[in-house]
Amino acid sequence: MKKKGFTIERVLTIATVVLIFLAWFGLTATGAFSETIIPSPKSVLESLVDVSQNGYKGHTLLQHLGTSLKRLIIAYGLVIVTAVPLGLLSGYNSKVQAILDPIIEFYRPLPPLAYYTILVLWMGIDEGSKLALLFLAGFAPVYIACVAGVKRIKEDYIYGAETLGANKWQIFFYVIIPAALTDVFTGLRTALGVEYTTLVAAEMVAATAGMGWLVLDASNYLRSDIVFMGVIIMGITGILLDRLIQFIEKRIVHWKGRT
């Protein structure tokens, strides 16, 4: 069992973050770089307070962040309700896999922004094209993880269920799904990171609000303090979202790591 409290790993993590912050503070305190290149922690903090209170280009910081998270959550939800069942079915049924694999394998290696231009031509620069882009970016890693999770299941489990009289659907729901859940959540964590990265890139290309747009617009005016603020907020938000997925995984796949 893991011991609660401060472990050496946790201490090392905290020490790393503190050292990075001290290095940043020390580097800017020397005056070797201008504020335009590397803003000081004080400037970034002041920008955070200012944008939080007064907003940026007509939107508050929470509105920019909320716009990005809304896009992410909607697309992520669509990925969960489609990629998970289709991936599990493809791993369990070779005919379903034969239909879906060519499509997934064709677009999966493509950079999301490469086909974003097509989506914009078809759907315009409104929310539809962004949601479609995020959906496609997140679908592939979840689908592949689900297929791999099913393929990794020991055949003895399936034979044992068949021996006890279970039909194919009972095997799918009571054997396949529980056994593949660890891989499913691995795919969900991967997809979340891919979608978040793609979201920021999409907002930089065509948007009027959102964290990606805020960072790009601030960079056009050499507002490095706002750029750093936006990047830090996006990084922290990404960490929190990943921790949320891990928390849910621990509650659902409570047997993970146990013998």
> Among 140, 149, 202, 203, which Cα is nearest to 172's?
149
Total of domains in the chain: 1
**2 occurs within a structural domain:** no
Phi then psi dihedrals of residue 59, to 5 deg: -135, 140
Contact 142, 188 (CB under 8 A): yes
Report yes or no on 9 lying in a domain. no
CA dihedral 219, 120, 109, 66 (to 10 degrees): 50
Is 217 within a domain? yes
What percent of the chain stands above pLDDT 70?
A: 95
Residues 161-196 have pLDDT tens digits of 777 777 778 888 888 888 888 899 999 999 999 998
| CATH number reported for the structural domain that contains residue 224 in this entry | 1.10.3720.10
pLDDT tens readout for residues 109-159: 888 878 888 888 888 777 888 899 999 999 999 999 999 988 888 877 777
pTM of the complete model:
0.82
Per-residue pLDDT tens digits for 29-83: 887 777 778 888 888 898 999 888 888 888 889 998 998 899 999 999 999 999 9
Asked whether residue 11 is domain-assigned, the answer is no
Residue among 106, 98, 179, 192 at smallest CA distance from 142: 192
What is the token pair recorded at 106?
A: 């064709």
Examine residue 189 and state whether it is found in any structural domain, yes or no: yes
Residue 27: its pLDDT value, please?
81
Chain length of the chain: 259
Helix (H, G, I), strand (E, B) or coil at 39: coil
In this structure, are residues 228 and 33 in contact, taking their beta carbons and an 8 Å threshold? Answer: no
Range of the domain at 62: 41-252
Q: What is the DSSP secondary-structure string of 114-160?
A: HHHHHHHHHH-SSHHHHHHHHHHHHHHHHHHHHHHHHHTS-HHHHHH
Domain for residue 6, yes or no? no
**1 has a pLDDT exceeding 50:** no
* Per-residue model confidence as pLDDT tens digits over 219-231: 888 888 899 999 9
Q: Examine residue 247 and state whether it is found in any structural domain, yes or no.
A: yes
Indicate if the pLDDT at residue 2 is higher than 60: no
3-state secondary structure of 218: helix
pLDDT at 142: 95
Considering the domain boundaries, does residue 15 fall inside one?
no
